[in-house]
Chains A and B, each alone.
Chain A
Amino acid sequence: MLEIEKISVRFNSFGLQDVSLKVEQGDYLALLGVSGAGKTVILEVLAGLLKPQSGRILLHGNDITSLKIQQRRIGLVYQDLSLFPHLNVEKNIAYPLRNKKFSKKEVQSRIKELAKQTGIPHLLKRYPGTLSGGEAQRVALARTLASDPEILLLDEPLANLDVKLKSGLRGLLQQINRSGKTIIHVTHEYMEVATLANKVAVIENGRLVQTGTPESVFRHPESEFVAHFSGVKNIFPCRIEGNGNNNGLKKATLGKACEILFVGNEEVGSGFVIVSQEDIILSEGPLDTSAVNQLHGFIREVYLSGSAMEVVVSAGVDFVVAVSRKSFEKMNLKPEKPIWLNFKASSVKFIKN
């Protein structure tokens, strides 16, 4: 188990502040944050390339904060991969093996094994300068795995790859993780996290702002930042001015006059409300359902989003609603059409300022 305890690193205008995190053996942790949030700094601190000013790092209970880089057994794959340009693929993979007392035969057999695992046996004699982005990424992974790290740190491993290559590499990362390797994966794309990680830590301006399973973080974001990051589109600043009409429900005013009801304890104040686009039902008239929020508006625009459609409805504020192609065609949804939005009070999440 890896434990990070109150790590702080200060630069001139930026720093990590009291970052604490626990990573269990076999976890796939995604460190999620925008560029410059401090994700790579955390990786460099873990790898020993940067010394923290305070805090400590424990690996299986042993303090490794001051341990030499080469003794940590924490493998880092940089975003630029840092393959050695003067060595061919085979020698790149052999590099960490030659640091250990392996015989030539053992080195060769390990290279073959790793090349097979990462799908690069045909690239062994090539030089890094001749590899494509996806190939280079696999070589970098094979080389780091050759050092037999306890923890694999990946800095934006899927960035700059096309969709097909991403999918292949995602499969490889899953396979490496399933074989028992703990992975910490830095990314700014929440979709990467959703498909790979079993734990997420969101970092903002050098601080960890939320950690948990991808589901808990994305379904229940604890800040506007996390909500924006997790792909929530219906997030609105609001005011709470007292109880709603219904028992136990609170009323939030969005924009100038749009009012919605939600389940909560807040009396007065301001904050943000989030309505998941999957929780909103569109109808051509008011519905007789348990959904207490029924708003009338008109369609502002429609666009294709993956295999479904997204409809932007103006009802005082602009809501984004996901609908299937079939429903879209059946309801003949098009711009300017009057429409009703229906969602439950329990679908509304309030985040206090």
Chain B
Amino acid sequence: MLKNWRLGLVFLFLSGLILLFIVAPLLGMFLQTSGDQYLETIADAEVRRSIRLTLLASLAGTVLFGIAAIPLSYILARKEFFLKGLVNGLVDLPVVIPHSAAGIALLGIVSRGTLLGKAGEAAGIQFVGGVGGIVLAMSFVSIPFLINAARDGFAGVPSRLEKAALNLGASPWRVFFTISLPLARRSIYTGLVMMWARGLSEFGAVVIIAYHPMVAPVLIWERFASFGLAYARPVAAVFVAVCLAVFVVMRLLSKKQIHARN
């Protein structure tokens, strides 16, 4: 009993320490920013523009690459094939490599002389120093979050339900859209939110492909490098507040969906 009590205390202490480690710097940043600084930052057109660009570019990447990534998640969850382990490893690659290196790698395939760069130019999409490049960089580093979450979601759908649907006369397309996808949607939704959130925070890969137009993380770094901490902190606080607000709304929407199903 005594041992259990001690164990509980140790666990509680360590858990509190970790939570403090996460919350304290953010709280410090919010508290060290005055009301006037907040108002000034919100009124700053450059800040507003960069936050809007960050939110929309990450959203565009999530929608575009997300749709294409869901079939891959399904295949990884359901099918057994040669070198499946390698494919799973490849999916995680963007998470483990330095993001500046990811930016360099991406730049190699989208710069003006390359096939993709030329195709983009012909279609009116500018990758280097353009929104197209920002979307690409954000998606590259964040797509593993969606693929992994969706793969786990599909794996959690009993294959027997899919077989039962086939046995009831449904086509494989109908089985996917009416059974597999709806039953994995909670994980897919979480994956989409995580992908979008990870895209928002990307700095390393984005700054190499497109310094301008400036996304919020690049703007924060630019203000810090040019004017110091006092000028960078309010921008960081406003950006983090916006991200948190959107994240909370997403979580609430996700819960609402789950309640509706039950």
Contact = CB atoms under 8 A, between A and B. Distances in A.
Interface of A: 47-49, 69-70, 74-76, 78, 80, 82, 84-86, 95-96, 99-100, 127, 129, 143-144, 146-147
14 contacts: A48-B167, A75-B167, A75-B168, A76-B167, A84-B164, A84-B179, A86-B183, A95-B168, A96-B168, A99-B168, A127-B262, A129-B262, A143-B168, A146-B168
A96 B169 contact: yes
Contact of B160 (A69, A74, A78, A86): A78
**Residue of B158, B161, B169, B182 contacting most chain A CB atoms (<10 Å):** B169
B170 A82 contact: no
Category for how many chain B residues contact A: 10 to 19
B167 A49 contact: yes
B163 interface: yes
Given A69-B167, A85-B183, A143-B168, 13 more contacts: A47-B167, A69-B163, A74-B167, A76-B164, A76-B167, A82-B164, A84-B179, A95-B178, A96-B170, A99-B168, A99-B171, A147-B167, A147-B169
A95 B163 contact: no
B166 interface: yes
Given A86-B183, A127-B262, A70 B161 contact: no
Interface string B165-181: 11111110010001100
Contacts of B160: 78, 80, 82
A80 B163 CA distance: 13
Nearest to B170: A99
Contact of B170 (A49, A95, A127, A129): A95
B183 A144 contact: no
Contacts of A80: 160
Contacts of A100: 169
A78 B168 CA distance: 12
B261 interface: yes
Given A95-B170, A99-B170, A84 B165 contact: yes
A99 B174 contact: yes
A70 B169 contact: yes
A82 B167 CA distance: 11
**Residue of A75, A76, A84, A96 contacting most chain B CB atoms (<10 Å):** A84
A69 B161 CA distance: 14
Interface of B: 158, 160-161, 163-171, 174, 178-179, 182-183, 261-262
Contacts of B182: 86
Contacts of B262: 127, 129
A74 B163 CA distance: 13
A82 B170 CA distance: 15
Nearest to B185: A86
B159 to A, nearest CB: 10
B169 A78 contact: no
Contacts of B169: 70, 96, 99-100, 147
A341 to B, nearest CB: 51
A130 to B, nearest CB: 9
Nearest to A95: B168
Nearest to B166: A69
A153 to B, nearest CB: 9
Contacts of A75: 167-168
Nearest to A129: B262
A84 B161 contact: yes
Nearest to A127: B262
Top 10 A-B pairs ranked by shortest CB distance? Answer: A82-B164, A96-B168, A99-B169, A69-B166, A70-B169, A147-B168, A82-B160, A76-B167, A96-B169, A86-B182
A49 B168 contact: no
**Residue of B167, B170, B182, B261 contacting most chain A CB atoms (<10 Å):** B167
A316 B168 CA distance: 57
A100 B161 CA distance: 19
A74 to B, nearest CB: 8
Nearest to B175: A70
A82 B171 contact: no
Contacts of A69: 163, 166-167
B168 A144 contact: yes
A82 B168 CA distance: 11
A96 B175 CA distance: 11
A82 B183 contact: no
Nearest to A148: B169
